[in-house]
Structure 1
Amino acid sequence: MKVLLTAVLTVAALSSGSVVKAPGDTFELLILHNNDMHARFEQTSQLSGTCTTADREAGKCYGGFPRVAHVVKEARRAAHSGEGPPVLYLNAGDTYTGTAWFTIYKWKIAAEFVNALQPDAVSLGNHEFDEAVDGVVPFIRNLSAPVLAANLILDKVPELKNEPNLYKSIVIVKDHVKIGIIGYLTPKTKDLAPRNDVEYEDEIPAIRREVKKMKEQNVNILIALGHSGFVTDLEIARQVEDLDLVIGGHSNTFLWNADSTSEKPEVPEGPYPTEVKQADGRIVRVVQAYAYTKYMGKLDLVFDAAGEITKCEGTPILLDQEIPRDPELLATVNKYRKDMDRINNEAVGTSLVYLNETGCRLRECNLGNLIADAMLNYTREKYHEQYPDVNIAIVQGGRIRTSIYHEGTPFTLTRGDWINVLPFSDTLAIVTMNGTILKQSLEHSVSTWRTVDSTGQFQQVSGMEIIYDLARPVGSRVVEAKAVCSNCGFYKLQDIKEDYEYKMMMPTFLADGGDGYHMFIELPRKTLSYNELDSVLNYLMKYSPVDTQVDGRIKVLNEDSVTETEIKSEGHRSQPNAAATKYNNWYYVVITLFLCKYSFE
């Protein structure tokens, strides 16, 4: 049986002879990193959907693996020629799920494209488990790079426990210097993925153990690479001694050295890098690079002989159309293009309005309204005789993956657009419950409400009206809730009654207790043969052009009352770059007091 031990990987082209530099030497390192690439193998629109001809002509296409490959190859070419420092390229998880490319080709295309980028290490993301354990094992096995996760408990999952390419940590040698990299994955994957037997340890003790092992091996440059969200990344940086850097993912956090950017929809949530002061005054840097291949994280570092950072500066690279695409990987994209173009270019409807995913985890959004309404509409149309009393539909905000907008009014909606929005393959279920359970689910919808690292369980609804008050304690935030009951004999919104019966449509993922909805697991259900995507495509065929608005079915009061904390660090930014000087050697990151590791889908 394989024991997950620290592995030593040597990059032959950049290391030979002794692995310890002479005393007094400094060590320069360029770190490039991505997270949450979500199957954006091809370039995307500004909102990370399908890049249309109109988008290309407007200069509004971004990212894609060929652009990532160009940046990585150019940096490595410079390092090899001596014109630039050694390069460490890292992937912080969630390569899976998000486009038709993955929907069709699954782990095989993910492994092919990640291997083409030749990362030095890859952490697992929660979406790597979207196809259950059987869907992630071949991905790990077929990657040329080591896959990292220190906090998995795999006693009941021998296929992962015995997988030779899955490590807790590794040591890489660059320019004769040892660099330790430790992986981690959010324990909330237990709620975010289809049910499986993988268990999770808290990230911090698991990372501490690996740090201790590496320090005993005289590894003094230590990086945590993982997928738990920005709030947890900050806690890791604050609590794990001897770490130098945390490279994270999961929350799609956009860090930027200015108050704003002309790009949309991203909004800066803090400086890049964000600095966290440990109890002894030591500074640990934390970075993420948004998502969907739109940016490449870039850090220029200088270490002293003891492995301490003496200089740290950088900024994410916007991978717009000014960045060339690597011809070799572009040829691989083109190999699949015929099949993908058929899907991505298939018109399924039109819209008069921007279909906005931003905020769907926090409040009512027009995209959530459209999806929930379409679920009810399709069921009433297709199965009215079988399910005449189904009057409620919900879809969680975390299931809605991206916005849709293209040039022109009305603009065309394609099948590819909607696969990007709704990439999951499970079907819908009709779940029967009483009013008590229904209210419990609504309370859960806002139990972890926060604007930073917002979680995925917020319900978008049809057939209900809800008023939440965030000034009230968790568990009593629903101040008014109306729904259409299933056995009342008429279709009318009325106050939810504890003993009334309600039939609610939802993704099977939620019916199985996903996103923390454990109150649904044992309830009577009927599993359907279709999902939200099928429902939406039918709706668009009937009602295009759509003009879906936010209509007040959900109201969230007192958002500002959710307690926020400023984490400040004074006077510790070493040689800030010009764009960051506005922080005057301090930084802020707004986080809620919910420092438990809540979920993102």
Structure 2
Amino acid sequence: MVPLRGFRLCVTFLLVVLPWRGSATDNMPADGNLLGLFPLTIIHTNDFHARFDETTTGSAICRPTDQAAGRCVAGLARVYSTIKRLRQEYATKNPIYLNAGDNFQGSLWYTLLRGNVTADLITALPPDVMTLGNHEFDHSPKELGPYLRKLQDAGVQTVSANTLVNDEPELAGINITKSVFITRRKLKIAVIGATYDGTAAEAVTGKVTFSNCSLAVLAKARRLKFLGVKRIIVLSHCGLDVDRITAKLAENYIDMIVGAHTHSFLFPPNSDRPRDPADVIEDDYPVVVTGPSGRKILITQAYAFGKYVGRLTVYFDRKGELKYWEGYPVYMANSVPQDPDTLARLAPWRAEVDRIGSQKIGTTTILLNHSNCRLQECTVGSLMADAFAAYYTNATFRPLTFVHAGTFRASIPIGDVTNGQAINSNPFGNTIDLIQLKGDAIRSCLEHAMVYDTSRRFNVMQVSGIQYTVNLSNPEYQRVTSVSVIDPIDGQYKPLEADKLYDVATLSFLMQGLNGFTWMLSGVNRRIGPLDSDLFIAYIGRLGEVNAGNLPGGRITITGTAA
């Protein structure tokens, strides 16, 4: 096997030297002659993130006023009505339905009802094949196991060539294979799965580990070709850039990649098909990658949140070579009919979500904004950090608190605050644990948060009991210019001491060193705490009203510009 470092160097060469993009304009024959060709229609979804109910165009909760104005889109009932329609419309062109993962996480439905609601609603219209997304591991294999068993019982095949179960007891008896065969007109199509290989560093995976996406697909595709398989699809939850790499490496073995993870909006740029004009087109649909030998590999992805359903029809010749294709993502606009069977299936679940989620817990006179949390101090982050600190605070003890920006997923507008709004603002369900951490580790975490991730985003630490300044013009890991922390006895802020042990309350996610915050692993005397949502809800209830007086600012000062 190629060492990963060398592999990345090789990939860099491919990216620089070889042309990436080709036109994805439908390349159907001018004379319309498709005689002797085998058609295959791929219907695909990805990164649904528990958006079971219809949403706004921004994929947020669709409120009654939005519904009355006809502004609601997406939702499972529109997705399923579209899949059913496409299956009928393309019945003579061998339709298959693929789900590329990340069905978990992202709405109140999942936060309150987890895998139970997800399994029930996914199996209402089971995909032919599914792969695992990284968010399927957010709450450990203990949560994932029952979900996969229900899908398996419903006949859903789960594939992931680079997922190594390693005798994880919670996944015992669950069949996660590297590939499966789908038969249409007595012809076999192989589907190889792949899961984001950074999942173990960003989720709770137990004994489960992940090998390199591209290399795992390459190895399996080679084996299938050796066995005489002619038509191979990759169902990937690895991201568009990785899929491009995989297409280059495995160009002689695979035909197309149905992708996910990066929420990429692929769309024919000159098409007059319906779409949300606010969605920025990242590339053509499909992306066409031409390898060194001239062979073309197609890559698709259908954005995220149930906003689009992908449909691509391809035509193979008798040798199994892909000759022609046409297709586009179908926009789940308000005008798309909602499937009545799905609406009926949603109803009892919605009643339970509404019952729990609509309970008022307090009010706020200021916008608790999450949209700027990756750039600067933000109000929802400060309030949440205060809530976590308050739980542990007494007359002689006051922990420091920090929460990374990736935690915050929704803003809370001025007015009444409900149970559901509080949970939706941070839907991941972490515990808030107490740990002792040296000052230099705290500073390193603050520094790491001010370094771009692979999507060129910061992960700014929102804090309580900490004041710090940042100069983004400085080199990476030298940007935090000062840190002061509160003294639990006199309440004064004093300079952070590198070798001193401090009491820190933060997310169990960070305690595991995930998202690159490995300095957290040096902590000692960890104490497991309650759920984050429980503390946040209780704190807002105790305040009664959130206002500028009980939510002071001035915690983070950022200057300069990052290169």
So what's the TM-score if we normalise by structure 2?
0.82
Tell me the residue number matched to 2:31: none
The secondary structure found in structure 1 opposite 2:90 is helix
Q: Distance in 2 between matches of 1:527 and 1:122?
A: 34
| Superposed counterparts of 1:457-496, under 5 Å | 458-462=460-464, 463-469=466-472, 472=475, 474=476, 476-486=477-487, 489-492=490-493, 496=496
1:417 to 392, 408, 421: 421
Q: 1:88 to 1:198 in 2, by over 3 A?
A: same
Distance 1:549 1:489, change over 3 A: closer
Partner residue, 2:235: 225
2-side partners of 1:545 and 1:486: how far apart? 24
Written as runs of structure 1 = structure 2, the 5 A alignment for 1:96-115 is 96-115=104-123
Q: CA deviation at 1:467?
A: 1.6
Q: Deviation of residue 377 (structure 1)?
A: 4.5
Does 2:182 match 1:172? yes
Query: Can you list the C-alpha shifts for 1:374-394, whole angstroms capped at 9, x where unaligned?
Result: 3324633x543166332x422
1:186 aligns with 2:177: no
- Contact 1:40 1:64 survives alignment (8 Å): yes
* Structure 1 residue aligned with 2:397: 388
Counterparts in 2 of 1:223 and 1:558: CA distance versus 1, 3 Å: farther
Are the structure 2 counterparts of residues 250 and 398 from structure 1 closer, same or farther at C-alpha, using a change threshold of 3 Å?
farther
Structure 2 match to 1:542: 544
Displacement of 1:50 after TM fit?
2.5
CA displacement 1:400-432 (0-9 Å, x = unmatched)? 234567xxxx46543323333322222212333
In structure 1, C-alpha distance between the alignment counterparts of 2:343 and 2:498, rounded to whole Å? 58
**SS in structure 1 of the partner of residue 353 of structure 2:** helix
Q: Per-residue CA shift, 1:70-115, capped at 9, x if unaligned?
A: 01111112233x4xx3222111111122233223433232222111
Pick closer, same or farther for the CA change 1:365–1:293 going to 2, 3 Å: farther
Q: CA–CA distance in 2 between the matches of 1:89 and 1:41?
A: 18
For 2:117 and 2:240, locate their aligned partners in 1 and report how far apart those are by CA, in whole Å: 28
In structure 1, the gaps of 5 or more residues are: 1-22, 562-601
Structure-1-length-normalised TM-score: 0.77
Please report how far the alpha carbon of residue 488 of structure 1 lies from its aligned counterpart in structure 2 after TM superposition: 8.4
Distance 1:556 1:121, change over 3 A: farther
1:187-241: CA deviations, max 9, x gaps?
2221222251112211122111221232134332222112222332222222223
Asked if 1:306 corresponds to 2:319, the answer is yes
How much has 1:181 moved relative to structure 2?
Answer: 0.9
Deviations 1:279-338 (Å, cap 9, x if unpaired)? 323332222222221222222333333333333343322212211111111101012232
Alignment of 1:64 onto 2:67: no
Partners of 1:278 and 1:309 in 2: CA distance: 14
Equivalent residues in 2 for 1:38-437 (5 A)? 38-80=49-91, 82=92, 85-143=93-151, 144-157=155-168, 160=171, 162-163=173-174, 165-194=175-204, 196-241=206-251, 242-258=253-269, 263=276, 266-349=279-362, 357-358=370-371, 360=373, 362-364=374-376, 366=378, 369-377=379-387, 379-380=389-390, 382-385=391-394, 388-390=397-399, 392-403=400-411, 410=414, 413-437=417-441
Closer/same/farther in 2, CA of residues 308 and 344 from structure 1, 3 Å limit:
farther
CA distance in 2, matches of 1:436, 1:298: 52
Q: Does 2:518 correspond to 1:518?
A: yes
SS of the residue 1:237 aligns to: helix
Distance 1:533 1:47 in 2: 27
Tell me the SS of whatever aligns to 2:225. helix
SS in 2 for 1:117: coil
SS at match of 2:53: coil
1:24-73 deviations in whole A, cap 9, x for unaligned? 72233322211121222222233333222112112222222111110111
Partner of 2:556: 553
One-letter code aligned to 1:469 = L
Alpha-carbon contact 1:45-1:51 (below 8 Å) kept: yes
Equivalent position of 2:448 in the other structure: 444
Q: In the comparison of the two structures, how many residue pairs are matched?
A: 520
Mapped to 2, the partners of 1:259 and 1:364 lie a distance apart of: 37
Structure 1 residue 442: Cα displacement: 2.3
**Residue in 2 aligned with 1:573?**
none
Structure 2 residues without counterparts, runs of 5 or longer: 1-33
**Contact (CA 8 Å) 2:98, 2:127: kept in 1 or not?**
yes
Distance in 2 (CA, whole Å) between partners of 1:429 and 1:202 is 32
SS at match of 1:191: helix
What amino acid is aligned across from residue 514 of structure 1 in structure 2? Answer: L
Which amino acid in the other structure matches residue 119 of structure 1?
A: P
Residue identity in the other structure for 1:274:
V
CA 1:383 to 1:419, structure 2 compared with 1: closer, same or farther past 3 Å? closer
Change (3 A) 1:303 1:496: farther
Q: Could you tell which deviates more after superposition, 288-297 or 254-263? A: 254-263
Helix, strand or coil at the partner of 1:332: helix
Paired with 1:178 and 1:353, the residues of 2 have a C-alpha distance of 59
Give the superposition deviation at 1:173. Answer: 1.8
Contact 1:148–1:166 under 8 Å retained in 2: yes
Q: Distance in 2 between matches of 1:441 and 1:530?
A: 22
Q: Distance in 2 between matches of 1:533 and 1:258?
A: 46
Q: Which moved more, 1:393-402 or 1:461-470?
A: 461-470
Deviations 1:547-589 (A, max 9, x none): 9999782537444x3xxxxxxxxxxxxxxxxxxxxxxxxxxxx
8 Å CA contact 2:312–2:325 kept in 1: the answer is yes
Query: Residue 432 of structure 1 aligns to which amino acid in structure 2?
Result: Q
Aligned to 1:583: none
CA-based RMSD of the aligned residues comes to 3.3
**2:263–2:301 contact (8 Å) kept in structure 1:** yes
Residue type of the partner of 2:110?
A: F
